[in-house]
Amino acid sequence: MVITVINFSFQKIKPREIVYRDYKAFDNENFEYDLKFSLTSNEVSTYSSFEKTFVDTLNIHAPLKKKVIRANQAPYVTKRMRKAIMRRTQLQNKYFKYKTPEILSNYKKQKNFCSKLYKKEKKQFYNNLKLNKVTDNKLFWKTIKPLMSDKGNLTNQICLVDNEKLLINEKDIATTLNNYFDTAVSNLEIIDDGFLLSDVRSLTDSIEIAVWKFETHPGILLIKHAQSMGSFGFVENSLAEITNEINMLNKKNP
- Tell me what the pLDDT averaged over the chain comes to: 79
Q: How far apart are CA 229 and CA 216, in angstroms?
A: 18
Q: How far apart are CA 165 and CA 46, in angstroms?
A: 53
**Per-residue confidence (pLDDT) for residue 153, from 0 to 100:** 47
- Is the separation of the CB atoms in 193 and 209 below 8 Å? no
Q: How far apart are CA 234 and CA 61, in angstroms?
A: 88
**Per-residue confidence (pLDDT) for residue 229, from 0 to 100:** 66
Angle at 17 between CA 92 and CA 112, to 5 degrees: 25
Task: Label residue 230 left, alpha or beta by phi (over 0 means left) and psi (-120 to 50 means alpha).
Answer: left
> In this structure, what are the phi and psi dihedrals at residue 95, rounded to the nearest 5 degrees?
-70, -40
**Per-residue confidence (pLDDT) for residue 90, from 0 to 100:** 94
Least confident of 32-41, 77-86, 160-169: 160-169
pLDDT at 83 over 50: yes
**Per-residue confidence (pLDDT) for residue 152, from 0 to 100:** 46
End-to-end CA, the chain: 75
**Per-residue confidence (pLDDT) for residue 27, from 0 to 100:** 92
Chain segment 135-192, per-residue pLDDT in tens: 777 777 777 776 665 544 444 567 788 887 888 788 888 888 888 888 887 887 776 6
pTM to 2 decimal places: 0.40
Angle at 50 between CA 49 and CA 51, to 5 degrees: 90
What does the CA dihedral 197, 200, 206, 207 come to, rounded to 10 degrees? Answer: -30
**Per-residue confidence (pLDDT) for residue 221, from 0 to 100:** 75
Q: Give me the helices (H) in 99-205, please.
A: 101-127, 132-135, 137-144, 170-182, 194-197
- Is the separation of the CB atoms in 65 and 25 below 8 Å? no
How much of the chain is in helix, strand and coil states, percent to nearest 5? 60, 5, 30
pLDDT at 10 over 80: no
Chain segment 48-60, per-residue pLDDT in tens: 888 989 999 999 9
